[in-house]
Amino acid sequence: MTQKAIMLILLMLGILALLLSMRRRGGRHARYRWRAGEAWKTLSRDRRSAGETLTYLRKTNPYVFEEMVLDAFERNGYKAMRNSRYSGDGGVDGRVRKDGKTYLVQCKRYKGFVDAGDVERFAHLCRESGMDGFFVHTGKTGRKSKLNASYGNVKIVSGNKLIGLFYETLYS
């Protein structure tokens, strides 16, 4: 075997070992958190209008979007608690804590109007758990969704509020 072939095999083994160690250290979570970090870099490098930012966020992977939202809360002084899994999470994508109060977080990527039923289910979950919540989405919020949110003490974070949550952390 030539020295070049040996080096190539060692390089491939090194890459395989790195991938296996990443899998052991969080697997999908580590990968989606890394991708969220890359998306943050893109947003901070390419100053975009509010509309362009929402379009960008709508196109991200839903799990990457969840990680970005939890990161944004952390950058705004909250402590984020991530779920151990992405699907089958019971309608809660994470929890954030600030000033001794814990909030449930639900993240949705919408192009049009948010599904009022999604807001209603999340508000019900918040009421049952005795916690307030943040329903974070990239779409438009209709009157029924706003009404449903009020029943569960849910704050809707979308549009300019979502942009504020993201950009206050990027450019402050």
Within a domain: 111: yes
Identity at 128, one-letter amino acid code: E
Q: Model pTM?
A: 0.80
Distance CA 88, CA 97 (A): 22
Within a domain: 10: no
Q: What is the structure's pLDDT at 22?
A: 55
Tokens of 59: 């196109």
Task: Using DSSP, state whether 139 is helix, strand or coil.
Answer: coil
Within a domain: 70: yes
Within a domain: 145: yes
Within a domain: 19: no
Please give the residue range of the domain that contains residue 50.
27-171
Domain count, the chain: 1
Distance CA 12, CA 88 (A): 36
Q: What is the structure's pLDDT at 170?
A: 44
Which residues of the chain, if any, have pLDDT below 70?
19-27, 84-90, 168-172
Within a domain: 151: yes
| Sole residue written with tokens 């080096």 | 7
Within a domain: 8: no
Q: What is the structure's pLDDT at 117?
A: 93
Q: What is the structure's pLDDT at 72?
A: 93
Q: What is the structure's pLDDT at 21?
A: 62
Q: What is the structure's pLDDT at 171?
A: 44
Distance CA 136, CA 159 (A): 9
Distance CA 146, CA 169 (A): 26
CATH number for the domain spanning 43: value is 3.40.1350.10
Backbone angles phi, psi at 78, to 5 degrees: -90, 155
Identity at 4, one-letter amino acid code: K
Sign of the dihedral defined by the CA atoms of residues 83, 96, 159, 153, in that order: positive
What is the distance between the terminal CA atoms of the chain, rounded to a whole angstrom?
56
Tokens of 37: 């970090």
Within a domain: 16: no
